[in-house]
Chain A
Amino acid sequence: MISIIDYGAGNTGSVKNALDNLGFENQITDDKKSILGSDKVIFPGVGNFGDVIKSLEKKDLIRVIKRVIQNDIPFLGICVGYQVLFENSEESPGIKGMGIFKGDVIKFRSENLKIPQIGWNRIKIEKKNSKIMKNIPDNSFVYFVHSFFPEVKNENIVLARTNYGQEFVSAIERGNVYATQFHPEKSGKIGLRILSNFCRL
């Protein structure tokens, strides 16, 4: 069973639709036991960094996510679900992230760029043997919607990079923890393949 964490907002439905289409048994849940008892956990986040953290705190899910990661259950964070794994965010000063990875979440800095970045951009895959990037051609297009991104401190976790005025880390991988700034559930065939690779881990 794959659990999609329901923290009260977010696009859990889109992820569910994608997994249903791929034929993987899944549930949208905020139940701690079900989450900790699943084979895989997906955490899609949208909206504001601080709001996501607050909603997780309210449902006592931060502890649960940390346990999932400690227990080595394959975990996939999406969009703000990627950002909250880091320490702080310029979007919500004073609100601490989960601090699973070192680094802060910052805003795109460029006069000439349209912000948010909305649309399809390429990923340069850094970990060629990554299991979730199996059969994903380098420089594939995936769908982004964001104004912020984590400044990753540890180079070893960089799974993919993307260029939007500046280069940023668009996906990370460490052990069984995966996270993407883009939305695989909205990235057409390529996105579905990434999700399918994750579900097959």
Chain B
Amino acid sequence: MLAKRIIPCLDVDSKGQVVKCINYKDPKTAGDPVELAIYYYKEGADELVFLDIAASIESRELMKDLIKKVAQNIFIPFTVGGGIKTVADMKELLKAGADKVSICTSAVKDPGLIRKGAYKFGSQCIVVSIDVKKNHKKNNWEVYIYGGRKNTGIDAAKFAKKSEKLGAGEILLNSLDRDGTNKGYDLEILKKISNSVGIPVIASSGAGNPEQILEGFTKGCADAALAASIFHYKRYSIREVKKYLRERGVEVRL
């Protein structure tokens, strides 16, 4: 049986440092990305995700350097995202050593990029990252872009299906309502999307303890769980989380 994956996420700022934000604001420094990557690799992370939150020309260069160092030291898959707009951007990052690229704003603005990327590098390389927020009036979830600053009004579940159709290999589902809150994943939309697409869905935003990660799998039907602060601030180790999950019948790699 395929194991559920635990994926630490490292948000990297313009200075090449890992930071953690709350509701996409107020970054706090959490350490050196290469050191943290090696630490998580040794601790049993199943994959890693790096997000270039500055997404500028300078930070892209920092990112490429970082990818090279990470690829030489850790032997699990890792995904890189932030500011990717073209197939050439993808190629640059994959060439530096990333296994997958994650696209967010550009997937909404230029959905053809999903198809082009999948055609060129294979679906397994293309992660579509979707930032969603609940619209309480309409009782649905809408897709946001530009790091949560702009509401597109697009229905999140529909966009996830469209991404799959265009060739996305995985969906990374972020919730603007839950990011950095430690209140747990937004299980309702997680379950809805996970059950409506045939590709793996990675739960993200809000995991603050092992129980919430368990719920992401059992109630949210996620295939993988992404978390940041819970691991960065060493509230729980990856091993502890995995043991907790295994004791409750979830298949994990320990």
Contact = CB atoms under 8 A, between A and B. Distances in A.
Contacts of B122: 46-48
Given A11-B99, A118-B169, A145 B124 contact: yes
Interface in A7-50: 11, 13-14, 17-18, 20-21, 46-48
B57 interface: no
B147 interface: no
B199 interface: yes
Given A121-B1, A121-B3, A186 B169 contact: no
B2 interface: yes
B121 interface: yes
A119 B224 contact: yes
Given A114-B198, A143-B76, A119 B5 contact: yes
Nearest to A51: B122
B46 interface: yes
Interface in B14-47: 41, 46
Majority SS of interface residues in chain B? loop
B72 A21 contact: yes
Nearest to A80: B122
A122 B73 CA distance: 24
B129 interface: no
Contact of A187 (B3, B75, B224): B75
Interface residues on A, range: 20 to 34
Interface of A: 11, 13-14, 17-18, 20-21, 46-48, 114-122, 141, 143-146, 163-164, 183, 185-189, 191-192
Given A13-B71, A116-B199, 5 more contacts: A13-B97, A46-B124, A119-B223, A121-B1, A188-B41
26 contacts: A11-B99, A13-B95, A13-B97, A17-B71, A17-B72, A21-B75, A46-B124, A116-B123, A116-B169, A116-B200, A118-B169, A118-B200, A119-B200, A120-B2, A120-B3, A120-B253, A122-B1, A141-B253, A143-B77, A144-B2, A145-B169, A163-B1, A186-B76, A186-B77, A186-B99, A188-B75
Interface of B: 1-5, 41, 46, 71-73, 75-77, 95, 97, 99, 121-124, 169-170, 198-200, 223-224, 253
